[in-house]
Amino acid sequence: MRVYTIIAIPVITGALVVACAIGSLVVLGSGSVSANLDDKGLGVSAPFVDEEISYQDIDSVELRNDVDYGSRRAGYAGKNLLSGNFRNDEFGNYKLAVHRSTDECIVVHHDGGILVFNLESSDDTKRFYDDLSS
């Protein structure tokens, strides 16, 4: 009976770890980037990104389609989405939340660093940039 207990505990623990890892990948893989503007400022959320930036903390905003995303430091890099902490030569360490299928992205320089994000389509990203710029 003891031998079965000694064997069963690691097997059950391993199965739970694998199930949690698979569940996390499924949840993260179905994630997306969402952004909103309200009275307080800009909000962007995605897997591993939850940024709230007040308007007064924003130094500049630009719409670009030539950003080299660099390398992931911590976060998520899936088939359709990149998000989390990234690093490149231009920005150093920065936050990224982008759909891979959309070329344009919004670069926000703010007191806390740099945030690069986009929405599901180029048109949605451009409209959001226009709203944020005004």
Cβ contacts of residue 12 below 8 Å, gap of 6+?
A: none
pTM: 0.79
pLDDT in tens, 76-117: 988 899 999 999 999 999 999 999 999 999 999 999 999 999
pLDDT(20) > 70: no
- Which pLDDT does position 34 carry in this prediction? 96
| Nearest-angstrom CA–CA distance, 8 and 134 | 62
pLDDT in tens, 40-79: 999 999 999 999 999 999 999 999 999 999 999 999 988 8
pLDDT in tens, 26-36: 454 457 999 99
pLDDT(118) > 60: yes
Residue 24 confidence class, pLDDT cut points 50, 70, 90? low
Cβ contacts of residue 52 below 8 Å, gap of 6+?
A: 40, 41, 42, 43
pLDDT(23) > 60: no
Domain range annotation of the chain: 1-30, 33-133
Q: Helix or strand or coil: residue 44?
A: strand
Residue 10 confidence class, pLDDT cut points 50, 70, 90? low
Would you say 106 and 116 are in contact if contact means Cβ atoms under 8 Å apart? yes
- C-alpha to C-alpha distances, 46 to 11, 20, 66, 80, nearest whole angstrom: 34, 20, 21, 12
- What is the residue whose two structure tokens read 């048109």? 123
Residue range 8-37: mean pLDDT, rounded: 67
- Which pLDDT does position 68 carry in this prediction? 96
- Which pLDDT does position 134 carry in this prediction? 87
